[in-house]
Structure 1
Amino acid sequence: MSNRAIDITLLGRTYSIACPAEQEEALIKIAENLEKQLSDLKTRSNSLCREEIVIMAALNIGHELYTEQRRNQDYVSQMDERINLLQSTLEEALVVRSSK
């Protein structure tokens, strides 16, 4: 795994980020998403400085991540319940079948 420097631009500044080759596409997409959020915040709030815009974007992204993690946890819990129900149903069916 070798790292390459990928240039990304955020709020008019270019940053060179070392990134493994297999993660370049993800980094580019993440940077594009971040740039969109930063630009949207800058447009909506001209009075915010660069640091405040970045903090607001970080909070927004953190909220998105938290919401997605909760959804995933809920999904895993639902799947665990379904698997347990299916397992119980199969066990009951085997018990009934073997007792006949």
Structure 2
Amino acid sequence: MIEEPLQLSIKILDKEYRIACEFHEQDDLKASARLLDNRMRDIRQTGRVIGTDRIAVMAALNIAYDLIQLQRARSSPEGDLTRRLQQLQNRVQSALAGDADDEPTAQQPAHNPPPSNTEPSVTSSLDAPRERV
């Protein structure tokens, strides 16, 4: 049995429209119509845009802008987060690899200070195991 599309009646800016949609799409279509109607009413109330066509275009532009901003916000942190996690992993691995160099050996006990003619080592902020009190 083939399911016939529904004829949904929606109202936008006091004008009724009949829209065909699938049964499972009706809630999203109603929510979309409410969003558009609210945006158009807000634009009309400002009094700066006159004419239903212009109001509709401005509302569509505003909604499209919001969508692009949302997409950009969603994609940017993930890429940035992945990059930052990789940097942190690299720093942790470097710090852990440096721990093996700090282990006391038979030639140099842990309580002896390093020779004074050596340059002090530069440590990053994540090299906490190298910090000695």
Report the TM-score when normalising by structure 1: 0.75
Distance 1:50 1:16 in 2: 18
Residue 8 of structure 1 aligns with which residue? 10
Residue 28 of structure 1 aligns with which residue? 30
Runs of 4+ in 1 over 4 A off after TM superposition: 82-89
One-letter amino acid of the structure 1 residue matched with residue 70 of structure 2: E
Q: Which has the higher contact order (CA 8 A, sep 6+)?
A: 1
Cα pair distance change 1:81/1:19, threshold 3 Å: same
Aligned-pair identity in percent equals 25
Higher helix share: 1
Distance 2:74 2:12 in 1: 30
Higher strand share: 1
Deviation digits for residues 28-70 of structure 1 (CA, Å, limit 9, x no counterpart): 1111011011111111126511111011101111110110011
Report the TM-score when normalising by structure 2: 0.58
Q: CA deviation at 1:81?
A: 2.7
Residue 56 of structure 2 aligns with which residue? 54
Distance 1:54 1:17 in 2: 17
Distance 1:56 1:47 in 2: 8
Question: What SS does the aligned partner of 1:9 have?
Answer: strand
Q: Which structure has the bigger radius of gyration?
A: 2
2:70 corresponds to 1:68:
yes
> Which ranges in structure 2 are unaligned for 5 or more consecutive residues?
98-133
Residue 127 of structure 2 aligns with which residue? none
> Which ranges in structure 1 are unaligned for 5 or more consecutive residues?
none
| Count of residues in correspondence between the two structures | 95
